[in-house]
Amino acid sequence: MTFWEEIFLWCAVAGYAGAFVFFLVGTVFRKEAWAGRGVYATVAGFCGHTLAVIFRWQATGHAPVMHTYENSLIGVWFLVLIYLGLKRSFPPSRMFGVVVTPFALLILGNGVMVGAELQPLEPAFKSNWLFIHVLFAWFCFGSYLLAFADGIMYLVKARAPGGGGRLPDLKLLEELSLRLILLGFLSHAVMLGSGAIWAHSLWGKYWNWDPVETWALISWLVYGVNLHLRFTLGWSGNRGAWLAVISLFSIIFLFFGFGHGSSVHTEMFSK
Amino acid sequence: MWNILTSRKLALWALLGLLLPLTLSAFLPSELTLPEREWAELSRQSPFYFGIASRLATPYLVKTPFFAAVSLLLFLSTCACTVQRVLWGLRGTSPDFSRDRSFSFSREVPFPLSPEEGGGRITRLLASTGWRHERRDAADALVLSGVKGRSGFWGSIVFHVGLLGCFLAGPATYLTALTGELVLTEGVALPLKEGVSLARGKGATLPEARASLHDLRGVYYKGRFKSDFGGVMKISDARGEHELRFEVNRPVEYQGLQFSLHQFGFAPRLVIERSGAAPFDFYLNLRHPREGDFFEVGGGVRALVIFFPDFIREGGKIGTKTEEPLNPVTMVRLYRGETEIGKGLVKPGESAQLGGYRVTVPDYRHWATLVVTRDAGVPFTVFGFVVCVAGLLIRFASNERLVEFELRRQGEESLLTVKGYSRYYPAFLEKEVDALAEKLIEDGVT
């Protein structure tokens, strides 16, 4: 990690940590002003984060898409970008920050713990498909995570005495959840397709049943079932919210590698 | 049978039937998730668990008749549902929002015009805002309805057509795939039919051609991190010699075969001479750079060979400083049975006397393993995913919905009931119905 990258990364961490505290106070004590401060802190963290990404890119000479740290760095950047974009389009969704910011901190923390050594782009990563694959992977993760946040908000609002205070309206939450899951599902399909094409040029096989591939397919099917239950059986309301919450676990398994072992995704062209 | 196949619940159950075993199987270890040694250890230490894992972990589960049967059922169900929907679409069948589960919203407002005048105004409003509209006269009211977002329905169909393409990729691969490995030392030509060791497919389908590798390069950043690997593949066939460049991620394509660079290493030439015997003289493709590789040299003697590209000695330890051949040294250990009879370090162009053998390393080259594949499933996969994504884009952008205006006479004026139906996006529906009602009232007043 370069000096300036480290400085700005810690600025980002401080911004997201502060934002989480502001959002939490705003949600628990129903303080509107604190939620507003949470957004400002998120934006400040995001600015620092953007600079950290730029310094990383400049130092390595490639987009930060390789290995755990760089994926965490760029992934969280996309996650916060999607959150801020959503907040701009649907202002009531700003309270999602209470779920988004801790996830951002956890993912960044995991990346930093694994190691942030500067490396040139490995031969296996020199493919245009990689950028499509990684970009949509993080779009899908960001969308699903926000759908998860939406589901949590829905369940809290539906159960809260007095209608959940300043949390967004239930119908809006319901609609946002479906839109986010559809966006995630679409991005997920692009991720799977571009990954298959990339795998074919790299390994000669478009599908290996490698653990990461298997979990990517499982999570896509989970969200496919999710959408089928909503579209064909009309699951909505609390059931729809629970679906959005539970489905995220398949994504956590996918991105954080339960049982991945010596996956070809971790070995690449390593022999 | 048709009714069963077109049942949406069957599709859902089949999807779950695929998903649940796949999820459980993903928790089991397999040869893909465990190193070879640990996998063998598991078989010794926990035979029961190993028995389950070696049958039901994902790479093995997907080859079972059960998995094939559920996949087939899901394919047939998707196929039948898609055909049924296409027929509905071509017949122009509208969704029955009263029967389907959907969100609805209604609003009742007094309207300052008679039903006849109001009807004309509503028709114009619907036409100007892109609604497909119709008018019917009920017993006590005039009803005008509009439908929008039909493209979402077609988007869903397109998506499922793409899924069918992806489904077909599986059997296409199963029936046509050829997979093998070609290990070549730089500058050594081999006939493809002999050189390719096939894991799957028929060798007879390989073309009559000879292949060799040239100008192999392995570039490391700071001597440690892999940066650029590639070379030139020369293929000679009846039409002449073809020179094809390759590198990681840029495979060679030749007569429907793909050659992807998979492994790369050093191949020192080792000459072992002993009086009265033909010398052992080969380029040795070293596959295990850290542990070393054993070779039978004849006369009951084995040689363990390790190549250090950038030899370094620190105290009693030897190793390589970088991965680049800056100071290449070959370590040779000779064994008779389990007994070591000689060991030494030999630089290129030098010789050493080891255990009664003269060992020479005249030079070294590179070797590479190319994965050789041919797979008719690839076009299905690409087509399937492209169509899936296109369908989802259309589906995402469009939402089928119905809006109904009921006008009941109340003296000179009317009572207007605006109802909206949509299967998705309740907040959006509510907003849209409100906006239409307000626009009408505004226009009616002015």
Nearest CA to B234 out of B249, B253, B248, B214 is that of B214
Token pair for B190: 């081999």
CB contact under 8 A, B229 and A122: no
Query: Which segment of A8-17, B219-228, B265-274, B371-380 scores lowest on mean pLDDT?
Result: B219-228
Predicted confidence band at B95 (pLDDT cuts at 50, 70, 90)?
low
Q: What percent of chain A has pLDDT over 90?
A: 36
**First and final CA of chain B: distance in angstroms?**
59
Q: Does B227 touch chain A (CB under 8 A)?
A: yes
Chain B residues whose CB is inside 8 A of the A115 CB are none
Minimal CA separation from B251 to chain A, in Å:
6
- Compute, in degrees rounded to 10, the torsion defined by CA atoms A186, A188, A191, A194: -50
Q: Are B223 and B310 in contact (CB under 8 A)?
A: yes
Chain B residues whose CB is inside 8 A of the A214 CB are 22, 25-26, 58
Predicted confidence band at B34 (pLDDT cuts at 50, 70, 90)?
confident
Most confidently modeled of A74-83, A161-170, B129-138? A74-83
Nearest CA to A22 out of A6, A42, A8 is that of A42
User: Is the pLDDT confidence value at A260 over 60?
Assistant: no
User: Is the pLDDT confidence value at A79 over 80?
Assistant: yes
Token pair for B105: 């919203």
User: Is the pLDDT confidence value at A130 over 60?
Assistant: yes
pLDDT of amino acid A258: 52
Most distant CA atoms of chain B, gap in Å: 124
**Helices then strands (H, E): number in chain A?**
9, 0
Minimal CA separation from B143 to chain A, in Å:
27
For residue A39, the one-letter residue type is V
User: Is the pLDDT confidence value at A270 over 80?
Assistant: no
Nearest CA to B312 out of B287, B293, B331 is that of B331
pLDDT of amino acid B12: 85
pLDDT of amino acid A267: 53
pLDDT of amino acid A131: 86
CB contact under 8 A, B12 and A225: yes
Minimal CA separation from B65 to chain A, in Å:
17
Minimal CA separation from A209 to chain B, in Å:
6
Q: Please state the rounded mean pLDDT for residues B267-287.
A: 86
Q: How far is CA A110 from CA A79, A218, A255, in A?
A: 15, 23, 11
User: Is the pLDDT confidence value at B204 over 80?
Assistant: no
Host H or E run for residue A53: helix A32-60
- Give the model confidence (pLDDT) of B136-155 as tens digits: 777 778 888 888 888 888 88
Q: Are B359 and B271 in contact (CB under 8 A)?
A: yes
Minimal CA separation from B136 to chain A, in Å:
29
Chain A residues whose CB is inside 8 A of the B250 CB are 201
> Which chain A residue has the Cα nearest residue B179?
A204
Residues 6+ apart with CB under 8 A from B372: A204, B178, B179, B180, B181, B182, B192, B196, B257, B258, B259
Host H or E run for residue B303: strand B301-308
Q: Find which of A130, A218, A230 to mutate to test the B interface (most B CBs within 10 Å of its CB).
A: A218
Chain A residues whose CB is inside 8 A of the B57 CB are none
Q: What percent of chain A has pLDDT over 70?
A: 92
Neighbours of B338 (CB within 10 A): 6
Q: Are B301 and B310 in contact (CB under 8 A)?
A: no
A residues 173-192 lying closer than 8 A (beta carbon) to B: 174-175, 178-179, 182-183, 185-186, 189-190, 192
pLDDT of amino acid A8: 93
User: Is the pLDDT confidence value at A163 over 80?
Assistant: no
Host H or E run for residue A81: helix A67-89
pLDDT of amino acid A190: 94
Q: Does B198 touch chain A (CB under 8 A)?
A: no
Q: Find which of A93, A127, A209 to mutate to test the B interface (most B CBs within 10 Å of its CB).
A: A209
> Which of A123, A185, A214 minimises the CB distance to B22?
A214
CB-count exposure of residue B104 (10 Å: 0-12, 13-18, 19+)? middle
pLDDT of amino acid A271: 37
Q: Which CATH architecture has domain B106-149+401-445?
A: 2-Layer Sandwich (3.30)
Q: How far is CA B330 from CA B271, B312, B347, B367, in A?
A: 12, 12, 6, 16
Q: How far is CA B62 from CA A203, A264, B50, B329, B335, in A?
A: 20, 18, 17, 46, 45
Bridge-partner residues for B135, per DSSP?
B144
pLDDT of amino acid A194: 93
Residue B289's SS3 state is coil
B residues 340-369 lying closer than 8 A (beta carbon) to A: none
Residues 6+ apart with CB under 8 A from B239: none
Give the integer Cα–Cα distance in Å for A90 and B40: 55
CB contact under 8 A, A218 and B26: yes
The residue ranking higher by pLDDT, A119 or B327, is B327
CB contact under 8 A, B248 and A271: no
> Which of A178, A231, A269 minimises the CB distance to B248?
A269
pLDDT of amino acid A269: 45
Minimal CA separation from A43 to chain B, in Å:
28
pLDDT of amino acid B182: 92
User: Is the pLDDT confidence value at A43 over 90?
Assistant: yes
Q: Find which of A143, A171, A173, A250 to mutate to test the B interface (most B CBs within 10 Å of its CB).
A: A171
Query: Which segment of A210-224, B41-55, B405-419 scores lowest on mean pLDDT?
Result: B405-419
User: Is the pLDDT confidence value at A230 over 50?
Assistant: yes
Helix B47-56 to helix B36-45 angle (10° resolution) is 130
> Which chain A residue has the Cα nearest residue B58?
A209
Phi-psi region of B295 (alpha: psi -120 to 50; beta: other; left: phi over 0): beta
pLDDT of amino acid A171: 81
User: Is the pLDDT confidence value at A266 over 80?
Assistant: no
CB contact under 8 A, B426 and A253: no
Q: Please state the rounded mean pLDDT for residues A151-160.
A: 86
Chain A residues whose CB is inside 8 A of the B430 CB are 171
Give the integer Cα–Cα distance in Å for A165 and B403: 32
Q: Find which of A65, A131, A206, A213 to mutate to test the B interface (most B CBs within 10 Å of its CB).
A: A206
User: Is the pLDDT confidence value at A259 over 50?
Assistant: no
Predicted confidence band at B101 (pLDDT cuts at 50, 70, 90)?
low
Q: How far is CA B331 from CA B336, B360, B413, in A?
A: 17, 11, 103
Q: Does B133 touch chain A (CB under 8 A)?
A: no
> Which of A189, A204, A222 minimises the CB distance to B258?
A204
CB contact under 8 A, B33 and A169: no
pLDDT of amino acid A222: 93
The residue ranking higher by pLDDT, A44 or B106, is A44
pLDDT of amino acid B355: 82
Q: Does B202 touch chain A (CB under 8 A)?
A: no
User: Is the pLDDT confidence value at B444 over 70?
Assistant: no
Give the integer Cα–Cα distance in Å for A161 and A175: 22
Q: Are B272 and B279 in contact (CB under 8 A)?
A: yes
User: Is the pLDDT confidence value at A268 over 60?
Assistant: no
Q: What percent of chain B has pLDDT over 90?
A: 35
| Tokens 């991945």, residue located | A260
What mean pLDDT is reported for chain B? 86
ipTM above 0.85, yes or no: no
Predicted confidence band at A84 (pLDDT cuts at 50, 70, 90)?
very high
Nearest CA to A236 out of B401, B100, B102, B99 is that of B102
The residue ranking higher by pLDDT, B334 or B426, is B334
- Give the model confidence (pLDDT) of B333-378 as tens digits: 999 888 888 889 999 998 888 888 889 999 999 999 999 999 899 9
Give the integer Cα–Cα distance in Å for A227 and A215: 18
Most distant CA atoms of chain A, gap in Å: 62
- Give the model confidence (pLDDT) of A132-151 as tens digits: 998 899 889 999 999 999 99
Host H or E run for residue B258: strand B257-273
Nearest CA to B161 out of B86, B72, B69, B73 is that of B86
pLDDT of amino acid B420: 84
Give the integer Cα–Cα distance in Å for A11 and A221: 38
Minimal CA separation from A186 to chain B, in Å:
6
> Which of B251, B385, B389 minimises the CB distance to A196?
B385
pLDDT of amino acid B114: 81
User: Is the pLDDT confidence value at A261 over 70?
Assistant: no
